[in-house]
Amino acid sequence: MEIERTDDGGVTELKVAGELTIFGAADAYGILTRALSEERDLRINLAQVTEVDSSGVQVLLAAKRAAEAHGHGFELVAHSAAMLEVMELLQLSHVFGDPVVMPAQPA
């Protein structure tokens, strides 16, 4: 897994590429929490995620909760087919927002 960071105004975008699985979950969470500690909104680009497991989902849930607890925006964008499949399977649209039609609800 690789994560590329870009900053645009008050928003940090993290582009995740590869597998968002247990093997990189700790590293991913560290990167996400570092970005949130800078008091910036966070946008996670998932276009290049090739695989995601429950650990990857837990990382995203924890980051969303941390962002909301500190008053920061949190958004998942450009969902890959793998990410869409997991969101549908685990029925997470109401948590993260449906990437097509539904805004996210507070955690």
pLDDT tens column, 25-45: 889 888 988 888 888 899 999
Residues near 98 by Cβ (< 8 Å), separated by ≥ 6? none
Token pair in block for residue 40? 């910036």
Question: How many CB atoms are closer than 10 A to CB 6?
Answer: 11
Give CA–CA dist 42/32, Å, rounded. Answer: 8
Task: Quote the pTM value.
Answer: 0.85
Q: What is the model's pLDDT at position 10? A: 87
Which residue ranges in the chain fall short of pLDDT 70? 98-107
Nearest to residue 82, comparing CAs of 107, 59, 57?
57
Domains along the sequence of the chain with CATH: 2-96 (3.30.750.24)
**Half-sphere CA count of 80, side-chain side, radius 13 A:** 17
Q: What is the model's pLDDT at position 98? A: 60
